[in-house]
Amino acid sequence: MEIKIVDIFWDRIYLNVVFEGENIEKSEIFLKTKSQAVKLKLERIEKNNDTNLCIRYKSVINITNIENIVMLKNGNYKFIVKQEDESKEIEITTEVGYKLENLDKIYRYYKENLAYTVSFKPRGKDGKIYCTLVSRYMIINHNYRKEQIRGTRKKARRAMFIFGKNCFNAFYKVLAFIHFNKKNKILLMSETRSPMGGNLKALDDRIKERGLNSNLKNSINLEKNNDEENINKQTTKKLQTNKKNKVKLKITYSFFKTLENSTLKIALHYLKLTWQLSKQEIVFVDDYCPIFKFINLSSKTKLVQLWHAGVGFKSVGYARFGFSGPYPYTSCHRRYDYAIVGGEALVPVYAEVFGINKEKILPYGLPRLDNFLDSNKIKETKEKLYNNYANLKEKKCILFAPTFRGTGQKTANYPFEKLDLDEIYNLCKKENYMFLIKMHPFVRKRINIPEEYREYIIDFSDYPDINELLYITDILITDYSSNIYDFSLLNRPIIFYTYDLDYYQIINKVHRPIREYAPGKVCTTFKEVIETIENKDFEMKKLERFREENFSIHNKTASDMIIDNIILKHINDD
């Protein structure tokens, strides 16, 4: 039953599906849902005369009249092959997988008030790729949500969600009306990380360095490592800056890992957060924030996204629309007044991701990279790491930092068996390398490193700041992660270990094809990774092109541009 779908194409209302494999002539092939099975007629179109084993058959499906059925009913249909008493779903080739998103059809009728649609959805299981034919009848309906919910339990859950949403939104409106004076109040918040870090911390530090925060004493405490004389000079300078600008920002903070907590804790946290949000003039976030599904911010409050990633390959937000992406009208991403990205080339990318106009995407750069290449910072960070991990000193470091597998934070994992620890150990011993492993924060399970390998292999997954590790990294091994963006500034080799390249691109979706845009060598086996390091075949010209395309050059730092062009401009305009 080694049968695959090797092509799908349309000819007007005829859907052509081509099958290849053994003993197809002895098989029955069906389009099948839980309640309906349609047997397909097969026509032999090709035979491999050399082996006499591989035979191609084609099924031509009239989408308006299938096997005496006028049209398919609403449903998700799988392609099933049956031989004798055994049946199973038919795989598709990777070539077909890449074609699927361009095969969707919309058949409008009745003055275009009604439509019948046929779409194809790729699915992955156990490393194999399948597809579902989705048959739907559509009608213009402004109350589409109500029509889509079926079943008592689903209706009850939906009703509870709507009730909760309305309560939170009403609560917010009352509080926002009470807190009418929002002048100079700023909230830095995240629902995915705690404590504060990345872009938000960099912006917060810069606001305090410029003496713009109302609590100047806390600002001065940031420089506690400086001597007393310098602190006094900084204090005087900041007081003068505040007096000149007449701006004192009151900054508050909220950092809470929403998806890791119970419903009760989330609800209690949201009550507090709603109170905080109601008082703010500007809110800065660094990731997806579910609370904005429940409340509509006041027109007096601006929401700014300082997205944590520079650019990677994973599809997120509306780039996944139609593939478990957000709903058209209720996504939190559409709420942003501004979104900050690293460079001009990323404006169309994030306009697609967030589903907002390009004019709202500002290519100021990422605040966390403002001082990333500062020689003193690099030196101090290296010294700190070498003091804490003496075995890293005078060694070359390879950092393995891939993204997670799974559908999200709750299911995040990584198949550690894809790492050959014996090969890593031999390479490190031979070439004087240390192999550091830094898993995505969503991956909770840690790799088991046998005692005999620990001389050269260390798990740094619990180390809080990956950017500090980048300073001591000579070679980065990753896959679809955005850590390539930061590391590319150091102009050091990047290897892409993408053992599931076709599977990931078809099932998970990517912004851009990996092989075409990856700033380094793309490897699909771990053996290739080892050979690339041994042969120093890093394809560095790709990295040079990536740097040119994805970074913008400004006279100011990203933090200063945000402060001057968003915070101060908005406050002064008001």
Q: What is the DSSP string of 389-452?
A: -GGGTTSEEEEE----BSSSTTT-B--GGGS-HHHHHHHHHHHTEEEEE---TT--SPP---GG
Q: How many Å from the N-terminal Cα to the C-terminal Cα in the chain?
A: 70
Between CA 104 and CA 442 the distance in angstroms is 34
Count the neighbouring beta carbons within 10 Å of the beta carbon of residue 417.
Answer: 8
Contact 509, 335 (CB under 8 A): no
The verdict on pTM exceeding 0.85 is: no
pLDDT over 80 (residue 55): no
The least confident of 125-134, 239-248, 400-409, 474-483 is 239-248
What pLDDT score does 246 carry?
A: 63
Place of tokens 């957060």: 273
Contact 92, 130 (CB under 8 A): yes
What pLDDT score does 488 carry?
A: 95
What pLDDT score does 233 carry?
A: 47
What pLDDT score does 215 carry?
A: 62
What pLDDT score does 409 carry?
A: 79
What is the arithmetic mean of pLDDT over 267-293?
A: 93
What is the arithmetic mean of pLDDT over 246-255?
A: 88
141: exposed, middle or buried (C-beta count within 10 Å: 0-12, 13-18, 19+)? exposed
pLDDT over 90 (residue 134): yes
Q: Which residues pair with 62 in a beta bridge?
A: 14
Contact 279, 172 (CB under 8 A): no
What pLDDT score does 324 carry?
A: 65
Contact 273, 291 (CB under 8 A): yes
Domains defined for the chain, CATH in brackets: 3-140 (2.60.40), 161-369+557-573 (3.40.50), 375-550 (3.40.50.12580)
What is the arithmetic mean of pLDDT over 324-335?
A: 76
For 395-420, write each residue's pLDDT tens digit: 999 999 999 998 777 889 999 999 99
